[in-house]
Structure 1
């Protein structure tokens, strides 16, 4: 056993947090976890429902830089500590109107102070990264539908309560009917149309209303899959694409050079439009050529 892992194990056994917070690691000392939030990221609009999104830790770790997995690195706890993480909560994300999927609030209060690491320790088994927890609070926790839910502790406690109600698999599930059957069989409180798969991030997502009861996801069919739209469908002549990382919503016309490569996934909040006017009215802007 490597020396740093042995030291972590001994410290964990002796730590007063070992029982209550088994994912606290003395070698997880990454301290540059409060990055500035640019003002341009702010989109303070009302939230009408929520999405809980889960990523597969081994997939994330496979793409993480080697240095970040070392003690003190940003990804050490999740990827280098020797702990076995499977599905971890990427975030509890307030969403806008169900009538306008993909138009969601973001960084509603702008840049926020650094959250005390001691407060974050309680949530590390759910989201094993202080950087991720700080990021999720700043970009999503400040946008809860009720201001009483917007302080860090209440936001994370809400996420933890929902997280503890879910039974997640110990293997990565592909986007198949069998996977959906497994999720429903092991989580009977969920709705069949309240489960969606975020293909770009390979994440499973669950939708909740503002009372945090399971609800349907916009655009999902009763079987829980996005309603299919083909490029031959006249109502999909204009393609509304969503870039979650950049927070942009662009529409592509058949004349755009990238039109053929744009694929629509309604589970990601992407939409088809019959006309450019419809796309602009829904809040999309034309993609530059």
Structure 2
């Protein structure tokens, strides 16, 4: 290794150590974070999601700053100020049925050492949330080698550190997706979406942790949501037998019969502009 590369590596390591130190607060003494895991729901998993929440909104819902020793003190009352934080790294279900996801695959887990968790406070500033995420999601990682607390959180931290996150809250999906793609060239446009119910930004990765187009939660093949709402897929992106990428608006006479198969690369677009930008053409 050249001296220049060695110096750069040392500098990056020093920055990581200093950032870690900035997120540790000696007043954060909450200890009752080893709650019972959710009931086991072991399922096959084909991809992952990183989910980000806006810390100030969460803290506002809790009614102001937390006091030392309370569950949310580090996130809401400590010396560090957080914006978007990692809610979790979640193994998902199949590409065509993402809502059928695994959970708590190892059952209830022992309490994780706080000294180990401190390494991840800048990413997820809550011992309770870190414990919860490992028990309910880390124990279900596709790669068996990632089913220990340190391996699971290290993988999440690697993905987290590779992202540039907004410094302000974003709730408009089109604007937010444009921001993420502009500032994170490694992300395909449809690898990012905004979950309106949870008010969280989510990024999809395949089983090898490469970002890919998200199978949208709540949608079944064909663009229909679980409750049969046709508006779940405003514009259907279908790939024909001749490999032509065509989009269908609700006004198209065959719109209702068009079936979307995410596993084949077919898409569900929010609007025509999005379909055109992705290189799809209007169905004749």
Q: TM-score of the superposition, structure 2-length normalised?
A: 0.71
Match among 183, 186, 195 for residue 186 of structure 1: 183
* Contact persistence 2:20–2:121 (CA under 8 A): no
Shift of residue 265, structure 1, vs aligned partner: 5.5
| Structure 2 match to 1:146 | 143
SS of the residue 2:26 aligns to: coil
| Structure 1 match to 2:23 | 23
Match among 75, 80, 105 for residue 108 of structure 1: 105
The alpha-carbon distance between structure 1 residues 216 and 114, as it changes in their structure 2 partners (threshold 3 A), is same
Query: Partners in 1 of 2:176 and 2:216 — Cα distance?
Result: 19
Runs of 4+ in 1 over 4 A off after TM superposition: 17-20, 226-229, 262-266
Unaligned 5+ residue runs, structure 2?
Answer: 1-16, 234-255, 257-284
Instruction: Please show how residues 11-160 of structure 1 align to structure 2 within 5 Å.
Output: 20-38=20-38, 41-65=39-63, 69-160=66-157
Query: Partners in 2 of 1:174 and 1:217 — Cα distance?
Result: 18
| Structure 1 match to 2:226 | 240
Query: Partners in 2 of 1:217 and 1:194 — Cα distance?
Result: 5
Q: TM-score of the superposition, structure 1-length normalised?
A: 0.69
| 1:61-82, Cα deviation, whole Å (9 max, x unpaired) | 011155x810011110110113
CA RMSD, 1 decimal:
2.7
* Contact persistence 2:85–2:124 (CA under 8 A): yes
| Structure 2 match to 1:5 | none
| Structure 2 match to 1:161 | 158
* Contact persistence 1:49–1:94 (CA under 8 A): yes
Query: Partners in 2 of 1:195 and 1:70 — Cα distance?
Result: 35
| 1:232-258, Cα deviation, whole Å (9 max, x unpaired) | x9x85xx626xxxxxxxxxx8xxxxxx
| Structure 1 match to 2:266 | none
| 1:140-192, Cα deviation, whole Å (9 max, x unpaired) | 00000011110000000000000000000110012232221111000010011
SS of the residue 2:226 aligns to: strand
